Amino acid sequence: MKTTKFFFMALAASMMVSCNKAPQTVGISLENLDTTAIPQNDFYQYACGGWVAANPLEGEYARFGTFDQLAENNRKQINELIEQIAEVEHKKGTVEQKIADIYNLALDTARRNVEGVETIRPLLADIEAISNRADLSRLLGESMTYGIFGLYPDADEMNSSMNILKIYQGGFSLGQKGYYFDDDERTVKIRDAYLKHVERMFSLLGYDDAADRAVTVLRLETRLANAAKTNVELRDPKANYNKMKYDELKALVPQINWDELLGAMNIHVDELSVGQPEHLKEAGELLATEPLEDIKTLFLWQTINGAASSLDDELYNANFDFWGKVMSGREEPSPLWKRAVGVVNGTLGEAVGQMYVQKYFSAEAKKRMIKLVKNLQKSLSERIDAQEWMSNETKQKAQEKLSSFYVKIGYPDKWRDYSALDINKDEPYYINLLRARKFEQDYDFSFVGKPVDRDRWYMTPQTVNAYYNPSTNEICFPAGILQPPFFDMNADDAFNYGAIGVVIGHEMTHGFDDQGSQFDKDGNLFNWWTEEDRANFEQRTQVMVDYFNKIEVLPGVFANGELTLGENIADHGGLNVSFQAFKNATRRHPLPVVDGFTPEQRFFIAYANLWANNIREEQILQQTKSDPHSLGRWRVNGALPHINAWYEAWNVTEDSPMYVAEEDRVTIW
């Protein structure tokens, strides 16, 4: 997912619809509970404390939750499929040959230790050979290993039926502007560690002036970051849409020879969109004003940084020491076989997905999922009609958008063709990865200037996730997440609506959050609200921003209510929509009290269990700076105090630390 593409993701999906027959189980595992905790005081600890205690973090994880458990199970299933292929020889050019060879190359660390850093010497030599600024534009287009901004194709926000080339900010390895400018103690330590890490990596490549080069890298990255937008600013679709003619781009940034750059990528456009013009202008100024040797040092670093995890063990371990340990608190790398599976998934994702769904996803499951989605749509439709703060005019537009959702479930109807991808086991691992990256780049840019393919998937079928895409007004639920522990075919509706029903409602609500609500039913960035209704909406969402801004996630570190607003709105809507659907489904046949829990209480326990996790402080800091999703604990303890049904189910009174006065609660969808 490109950082500036407005996808909205969540753990989501289900294959369950209401049924009248008695369930075999209630789905709730009592072992997950911490009955020493008081649910009205700390619902997360009460519902998840048992799970948290039973699943301590292992060294390879910065965070491990119920979501990660499912991902682990999927990874093992995929590995079994891959290993069966990798054990035998296959005809050159077949998908099986490509899967087998890239997997075996990924496992062969002994070979990489022999080949060592010599694999990237030619790439470094190309950079070092740059003798004048005129070469920079062409090399930026030819290279897949470095750059000071990025390019990608996507739907034109003002003409969603057509793809357009987009340019977005980049060139600073830490990814988030705050890492370069925040002056709190934790961030300063990360910045200091990064400087030492860059020096170490240059030293391992044999550069005698590694310390000086590290200072240069940090200085230039800081310059690029200074002109960049923050993560919150990147969430504004209108502000990040700047369509212009190709000649206007040339005039905006004349320091870059765009004919050379785009020509090297075989891209020809009449118009495009520059997401962050100020950053792009600064990138052009950097190319024109910084010493050529300093620019080359930045490109050398980007090449080394991008290759480090795919070369010898010494570079891999040095790379992990910073990106794994310092940035996320992990103690050890993931086992080699897991990394190899990840590479195959990243290289031939849909080919693996095709095998995966044939074995693990049934047609019946897809049919049931379709029914549940329709059930949740009906509930959201009812809730739209019930909102007193919206006019009938805006409600009608909202209903039109809801009824236009394009639903994708399980896997694509048409599979990708990988025949043009060349995987050659006689060449080094990293060279194969570069070729695979070029194959993917060519595939992506083949869509520039062409009609949007609404049947294209932006996740592989085996992915444990889901998304809403506003430019196509689609909700997508890959097969990978449509299974336990998010769905239990034998459990009752209280469990299934509380767990996966909520996250399906979450994805639907993304169409009406602070970003998604700016797009119409056709995926165009168009205001379909009355002025008064939009003002009412923003007044209500500000309540959520203010509430989350006060949550202290670490001593002195607070949640970012602006950054997480869209996901928090989606959690809020998902809970309300799914609870109403649950009540609709069980109105004629109420569920019994089981294990002392009412059906309504089980609904909220099931929801909370989705977010049970253990997480390291380093990862908390990283997610708070960069992740639009709230931390797991606060997707429970931050979301539920604004759900009226939770108060009723658990008899939450003013004495509870989680209590929020009704007039102060968020009320949107």
Largest CA distance in the chain: 78
Q: Which of 22-26, 65-69, 132-136, 343-347 has the lowest mean pLDDT?
A: 22-26
Rg (CA), the chain: 25
433: Cβ contacts below 8 Å, ≥ 6 apart: 310, 343, 347
305: Cβ contacts below 8 Å, ≥ 6 apart: 173, 201, 319
Please, are residues 90 and 425 in contact by the beta-carbon 8 Å criterion?
A: no
pLDDT for position 500: 86
pLDDT for position 11: 40
Q: Which of 250-254, 373-377, 599-603 has the lowest mean pLDDT?
A: 373-377
Backbone angles phi, psi at 150, to 5 degrees: -125, 160
Distance CA 643, CA 667 (A): 9
pLDDT tops 60 at residue 634: yes
pLDDT for position 387: 95
Distance CA 261, CA 70 (A): 43
Q: How many CB atoms lie within 10 A of CB 54?
A: 10
pLDDT for position 381: 97
How far from chain centre, in Å, is Cα 228?
A: 20
Q: How confident is the model over 205-217, as pLDDT tens digits? A: 999 999 999 999 9
Average pLDDT over residues 52-63: 96
Distance CA 666, CA 569 (A): 9
Distance CA 8, CA 467 (A): 5
pLDDT tops 70 at residue 388: yes
For CA atoms 657, 662, 663, 665, give the dihedral sign. positive
Distance CA 7, CA 50 (A): 33
H helix and E strand count, the chain: 28, 12
pLDDT for position 429: 98
Q: How confident is the model over 526-550, as pLDDT tens digits? A: 999 999 999 999 999 999 999 999 9
pLDDT tops 80 at residue 6: no
Where residue 484 falls among pLDDT bands split at 50, 70, 90?
A: confident
Where residue 8 falls among pLDDT bands split at 50, 70, 90?
A: very low
Cis check: omega of the bond before 485, within 30 degrees of 0: yes
Where residue 13 falls among pLDDT bands split at 50, 70, 90?
A: very low
At 280, list the tokens. Answer: 């792009």
Please, are residues 278 and 223 in contact by the beta-carbon 8 Å criterion?
A: no
Backbone angles phi, psi at 163, to 5 degrees: -85, 145
Please, are residues 506 and 571 in contact by the beta-carbon 8 Å criterion?
A: yes
Where residue 486 falls among pLDDT bands split at 50, 70, 90?
A: confident
Q: How many CB atoms lie within 10 A of CB 587?
A: 9
Distance CA 503, CA 581 (A): 13
pLDDT for position 184: 93
Domains of the chain: 8-68+362-412+457-664 (3.40.390.10), 117-328 (1.10.1380.10)
Q: How confident is the model over 58-78, as pLDDT tens digits? A: 999 999 999 899 999 999 999
Mean of the per-residue pLDDT values for the chain? 93
Backbone angles phi, psi at 437, to 5 degrees: -65, -40
CA 402, 408, 412 angle in degrees (round to 5)? 155
Q: Are strands 474-478 and 406-410 parallel, antiparallel or unpaired?
A: parallel
Tell which wins on pLDDT, 328 or 486: 328
Q: How confident is the model over 392-425, as pLDDT tens digits? A: 999 999 999 999 999 999 999 999 999 999 999 9
Closest CA to 627 of 304, 235, 294: 235
Closest CA to 614 of 56, 72, 43: 56
pLDDT tops 90 at residue 105: yes
CA distances from 423 to 143, 265, 341, 416 (A): 19, 21, 16, 16
